[in-house]
C-alpha cells in the first residue's frame, strides 16, 4: 500500500503518532513536510475534496495567526481565507493522511487505521 501520503509536522505528537501507526502497518508513506512545502490553493482544494471538508473546517483555531487574521470573522471570503492559509501553513490541522481519493485528519491518530481498513 504505497499510495499513502502524510502531510506531516515532525514537531507535532499527533503527526508523529500517525507516522508510527503507518510504519507499524509496514507502510512507508510519502511524507510532505507541509510547513516547508506549503500546499498551494489547488492542492488545498484537492485535499479538502478528499476530506469532504471546507477550508474553515481544517483551521487550527488556537494558532496566533488565526487571531491575527481574524479568521473567526465569517464575512471573510473563502478566497481570502485560502490566501491566508497558503501563506501560513501552521493554520492547517494536522496530520492529514491521504489514500487515493480519500483523506482523514489524524486526530485522534487511530483515524489513520480507519483509512487503511477501507
Do residues 45 and 53 lie in contact, with contact meaning Cβ atoms separated by under 8 Å?
A: no
Q: Report residue 22: phi and psi, to 5°.
A: -65, -45
The rounded Cα 112 to chain-centroid distance in angstroms is 12
Q: Which of 5, 12, 46, 90 is catalytic?
A: 12
- 77 exposed, middle or buried (CB, 10 Å; 0-12, 13-18, 19+)? exposed
- Is 12 part of the annotated catalytic residue set? yes
Instruction: List active site positions.
Output: 12
Amino acid at each position: 500500500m504505497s499510495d499513502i501520503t502524510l502531510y506531516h509536522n515532525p514537531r507535532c505528537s499527533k503527526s508523529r503518532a500517525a507516522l508510527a501507526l503507518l510504519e507499524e502497518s509496514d507502510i512507508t508513506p510519502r511524507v510532505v513536510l507541509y510547513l516547508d512545502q506549503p500546499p498551494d490553493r489547488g492542492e488545498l482544494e484537492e485535499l479538502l475534496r478528499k476530506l469532504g471538508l471546507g477550508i474553515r473546517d481544517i483551521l487550527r483555531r488556537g494558532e496566533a495567526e488565526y487571531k491575527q487574521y481574524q479568521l473567526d470573522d465569517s464575512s471573510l471570503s473563502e478566497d481570502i481565507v485560502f490566501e491566508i492559509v497558503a501563506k501560513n501553513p501552521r493554520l492547517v490541522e494536522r496530520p492529514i493522511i491521504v489514500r487515493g481519493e480519500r483523506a482523514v485528519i489524524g486526530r485522534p491518530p487511530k483515524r489513520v487505521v480507519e483509512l487503511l481498513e477501507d
